[in-house]
C-alpha cells in the first residue's frame, strides 16, 4: 500500500542530530509540518531538500527532515546544502522503524501532516506542482519567476 493511502500519519519518536528525542505528536502541536524522508546519497534528495529549505526560510510551514543515514553523514549533508530545519535520524542500526511504518519505498518522500495527525498531501521524488500546491496552501511561492525548475525528477 502506498503511504498516501494512510489517513493518519504514524506517530514517531526519533533522535535529532543532537540526540534529543522528537515526536510527531509534539511537533504537530504547533500546527502542520512538512516531513521529508531522505538519504544523503540520493541525487533527487540533494535537489529537493534545498527547495524545502525555502519553506523554512519563508516561515510558511515547519519542515522536518528524516534522514535514513547516520548522524555524521547527515550533518555534512545539511552543511553542504544549507539546511537549517530540524533533521531526525531513522537509521539502518535502528532498522528504519519509522520509514517502514510510513512504507517508504522511494526517497525523497514528503508528507504534509496536519495538526490533528492527518496526512493532507504526499509526494515522492521531486514534483514541482506538488511543492507549488503546498506553497499555495501557506501563501508561499517556492520557485522564483524565470527559475529553471523541472516538472518532475524521480526518486
pLDDT tens digits along 78-129: 999 999 999 999 999 999 999 999 999 999 999 999 999 999 999 999 999 9
Residue 6: band (very low, low, confident or very high) from pLDDT cuts 50, 70, 90: low
What fold, for 30-140?
Answer: Glutaredoxin (3.40.30)
Distances (CA, A) of 66 to 7, 87, 100: 20, 6, 12
Which pLDDT does position 7 carry in this prediction? 84
pLDDT tens digits along 49-72: 999 999 999 999 999 999 999 999
Q: How far apart are CA 111 and CA 95, in angstroms?
A: 21
pLDDT tens digits along 8-48: 999 999 999 999 999 999 999 999 999 999 999 999 999 99
Model pTM score: 0.95
Strands 109-113 and 119-124, how do they pair?
antiparallel
The CA-CA-CA angle for residues 64, 26, 14, to 5°, reads 55
Q: How far apart are CA 125 and CA 132, in angstroms?
A: 14
Do 104 and 69 touch, CB atoms closer than 8 A? no
Q: How far apart are CA 85 and CA 82, in angstroms?
A: 9
The one-character DSSP state at 94 is: G
Q: Is the dihedral of CA 72, 39, 58, 14 positive or negative?
A: negative
Look-up of cell digits 520557485 = 143
Residue by residue, DSSP assigns 70-87 as -HHHHHHHHHHTT--S-E
Residue 1: band (very low, low, confident or very high) from pLDDT cuts 50, 70, 90: very low
Indicate whether 147 pLDDT > 90. Answer: yes
pLDDT tens digits along 70-79: 999 999 999 9
Which pLDDT does position 89 carry in this prediction? 98
* DSSP β-bridge partners for residue 15: 21
Q: Where are the domains of the chain?
A: 30-140
Which pLDDT does position 130 carry in this prediction? 97
Amino acid at each position: 500500500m502506498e503511504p498516501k493511502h494512510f489517513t493518519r500519519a504514524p506517530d514517531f519518536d526519533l533522535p535529532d542530530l543532537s540526540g534529543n528525542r522528537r515526536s510527531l505528536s509534539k511537533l504537530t502541536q504547533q500546527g502542520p509540518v512538512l516531513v521529508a524522508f531522505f538519504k544523503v546519497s540520493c541525487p533527487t534528495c540533494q535537489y529537493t531538500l534545498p527547495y524545502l529549505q525555502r519553506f523554512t526560510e519563508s516561515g510558511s510551514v515547519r519542515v522536518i527532515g528524516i534522514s535514513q543515514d547516520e548522524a555524521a553523514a547527515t550533518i555534512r549533508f545539511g552543511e553542504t546544502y544549507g539546511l537549517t530545519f530540524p533533521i531526525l535520524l531513522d537509521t539502518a542500526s535502528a532498522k528504519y522503524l519509522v520509514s517502514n511504518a510510513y512504507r517508504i519505498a522511494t526517497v525523497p518522500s514528503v508528507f504534509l501532516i496536519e495538526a490533528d495527525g492527518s496526512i493532507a498531501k504526499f509526494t515522492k521524488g521531486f514534483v514541482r506542482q506538488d511543492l507549488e500546491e503546498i506553497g499555495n496552501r501557506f501563501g508561499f511561492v517556492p520557485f522564483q519567476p524565470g527559475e529553471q525548475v523541472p516538472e518532475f525528477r524521480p526518486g
